[in-house]
A = this chain, B = another copy of it.
């Protein structure tokens, strides 16, 4: 049985894995999930990427939106607003609240996030093993110009720069302002979660789905030991470009790519990962002309359709990633 390890953020990663399950129904898939975008809201621990994985693979996702629950209602949020309690910019629905309540209660009872995630997955049956990248607290912060915070900062404080939580940057500010740095606070002291290094060591193939290379895959790689384990695994590591035609397929990756000095092109993202980590890279057919420059960097590259327009198209992408992995291995 083929053992596949996938490093995943939220929507892009979750949708890709759904296609991968379809493409490789007999494989044992382990997903290492990003927890850098976790946030405490209303006293509850919210893990947006883990939840998107769980809901998408377990059949509870709001399909059009890509995050949150289907048939969601927002009564609790409205009531919190009536108490003057925010933030209002984060869309927590009633069904979603239950997940955070269970998680927070288990964490308060002493369970690590990995055990909590396993317990939540007992309901969702995602068909893959979802492992948080770490049980330790890591919080991705984005350094922005204070002036860009607008009305919420007044007077002298409007000078200079300020680090905001990734969710504030991504959701509240919609990544519309310049990011000067992306810092996974706490990552340097974090340990890989239980099973993470073992899964990598036992993998036959390691995949980077078209997740954000900075704030999703990049954050996972920032946990000491994970990047090294992948580089040393001795198995094909293949990624899929989240940039198509010089723009992120979804999300707003350009600003955070700029923050780490990477151009928003499929080739630049491959070079950012580097040949020390990546053996193969899929770019979209519209970026076929970038194949030579990726291969020059020592990374085998193919141009194939990379738009996840449905499970079938996504499964085809996953099959092509697995085929490229076999090419690399051979």
- A82-B123, A123-B82 as given contacts; A75 in contact with B102, CB under 8 Å: no
Binds B, one of A92-100, A177-185, A222-230, A271-279: A92-100
A75, A80, A120, A122: residue with the most chain B Cβ atoms closer than 10 Å: A75
Contacts of A120 in B (CB 8 A): 83
Interface positions of A from 96 to 140, Cβ below 8 Å from B: 97-99, 101-102, 104-105, 108, 120, 122-123
Among residues of B, the one whose C-beta sits closest to the C-beta of A43 is B105
Task: Tell me, rounded to whole Å, the shortest Cβ–Cβ distance linking A98 to chain B.
Answer: 3
A101 to B75, CA, bound (A): 13
A102 to B95, CA, bound (A): 18
Is A85 close to B, CB under 8 A?
yes
A73 to B94, CA, bound (A): 10
User: A123 near B83 (CB under 8 angstroms)?
Assistant: yes
A80 to B123, CA, bound (A): 11
- A73-B73, A94-B94 as given contacts; A79 in contact with B99, CB under 8 Å: yes
Contacts of A97 in B (CB 8 A): 76, 79, 97
Contacts of A94 in B (CB 8 A): 73, 75-76, 79, 94
- A43-B101, A94-B94, A108-B43 as given contacts; A123 in contact with B84, CB under 8 Å: yes
Task: Tell me, rounded to whole Å, the shortest Cβ–Cβ distance linking A168 to chain B.
Answer: 18
User: B104 near A80 (CB under 8 angstroms)?
Assistant: no
Contacts of A98 in B (CB 8 A): 75-80, 82-83, 85
User: B85 near A102 (CB under 8 angstroms)?
Assistant: yes
A104 to B83, CA, bound (A): 13
Is A42 close to B, CB under 8 A?
yes
Interface positions of A from 255 to 287, Cβ below 8 Å from B: none
Query: Which residues on A are within 8 Å of B, measured CB to CB?
Result: 42-44, 73, 75-80, 82-85, 94-95, 97-99, 101-102, 104-105, 108, 120, 122-123
List of 7 A-B pairs having minimum Cβ-Cβ separation, nearest first: A79-B98, A43-B105, A75-B94, A76-B98, A80-B98, A83-B102, A79-B95
